Amino acid sequence: MEEYDVIVAGLGPAGAGAATELTRAGARVLALDSGAKKPCGGCISMRWSWLFDWFGKPKWFEDHQVNRLCLNWQGKIPVFWQTKKFGAVLVDRNLLDNHLVPKVKAGGVEILNARLKSLRQVKSKYQIRTTKGDFRCSWLVDASGSSLALKKKFNLGNASSFTYKALVCETKASKKVTELLSRGTALIDLGAIPLGYGWIFQRGETVNFGVATRRLDKLPPQKNLQTCLAAFAQSYGLETPQRFRGAVIPCPDRKTPLLSRGNILLTGDAASLADPFLGEGIGQAMLSGRLAAEAVLKGKADYYKTSIKKGLLREHAHARMLAGLIYNLPAKAHGLARRHPGSLETGFKLLRGEITHKTLWGHILGKILGFKPSLDRSPGGYYSKRLN
């Protein structure tokens, strides 16, 4: 049975980050790539840009910059805000993954197009069974995504209670969308679905749109995700989607998620690390993958847990509070934006990493009292760049 120092299950942003950092440090790594395509809005906020600098940004990475927000309410009352410095980029998730995999391979990582079937611990090692053979390793990094079946099968924790259920679709832009969304504009509709939002991201002639909510039980009678998606599409002149993909966006709830079990480290969606307010997970996934790699190199699983708790989880507790305010009171949130459209600049500051969810409260207070909050760039901080 062939043996590796580390096996990384999954080759999205989390797996790519972990596998590459480990191999650069001299570890022998096998990465399992199932080839599954993940439905995704593809929005990456610029607070994570430094992670992709490390990986090597493709030329197209910043082709679709977001420097204008359209905040809407049930498709009727748009509020626009233009910022001077863009806050996010819109990427094709499949194109991004196709960029990362060759980078990982070029870095010396062995890639096997297979998925994890079973694992068992034998003394200090793990025996891994895949769809293409058996292997042994000292560490396993789970970057396989949000599969609840996998969690149950391998006893890797339970699903987070703060999970968005979404439907995602891509089509050609309608006349209404083209007129409403000039280049660089992202649309968020707070009235598209209860306790959630709808989005429209335009990349050239392609429109990525969808709806997401964390409480399907709060939908009106005779309503479900599919009917909400159809109504949302119709309100913007888009064709009723015949083909769409379902997705879950697992975010941390009030309980600390299972981040490790022995020498098994859970990263990205497998650890429920998406942003509870923005629903964003690509940057968080890559950061968690690289922190997991650091923990393996130190030989300390606790280092990974401590780093995530002091960084992402601490920050996401504030994001969860913000999500509760905005999505539970969407009419009031939209009304506030209508009266004070400049408040949307705070959102762009958040996207650029100039403030965090935690310091956002201080930023609002600072507007009143006249002081500026400072960012926490300590080793456990959310935007620490010590990995570079």
Beta strand 162-172 pairing with 245-251: antiparallel
Q: What is the pLDDT of residue 379?
A: 46
**pLDDT tens, residue order, the chain (388 aa):** 899 999 999 999 999 999 999 999 999 999 999 887 777 888 999 999 889 888 888 888 889 999 999 999 987 789 999 999 999 999 988 889 889 999 999 999 999 999 888 889 898 999 999 999 999 999 999 998 866 556 666 677 777 889 999 999 999 888 888 888 888 999 999 999 999 999 999 988 889 999 999 999 888 888 899 999 999 999 999 988 888 888 899 999 998 888 999 999 999 999 999 999 999 999 999 999 999 999 999 999 999 999 999 999 999 999 999 999 999 999 999 999 999 898 899 999 999 998 888 888 776 666 555 656 555 555 455 555 555 4
Q: What is the pLDDT of residue 34?
A: 87
Determine the 3-state secondary structure of 291 from DSSP: helix
Q: How far is the C-alpha of 141 from the C-alpha of 296, rounded, in Å?
A: 9
Q: How far is the C-alpha of 248 from the C-alpha of 229, rounded, in Å?
A: 15
Q: What is the pLDDT of residue 151?
A: 63
**Number of Cα atoms under 13 Å in the Cβ half of residue 194:** 10
Q: What is the pLDDT of residue 313?
A: 93
pTM above 0.85, yes or no: yes
Cβ atoms within 10 Å, residue 214? 23
Tell me the two tokens of residue 186.
């992202």
Q: Are 290 and 19 in contact (CB under 8 A)?
A: no
Burial of residue 201 (CB within 10 Å: 0-12, 13-18, 19+) is buried
Q: What is the pLDDT of residue 388?
A: 41
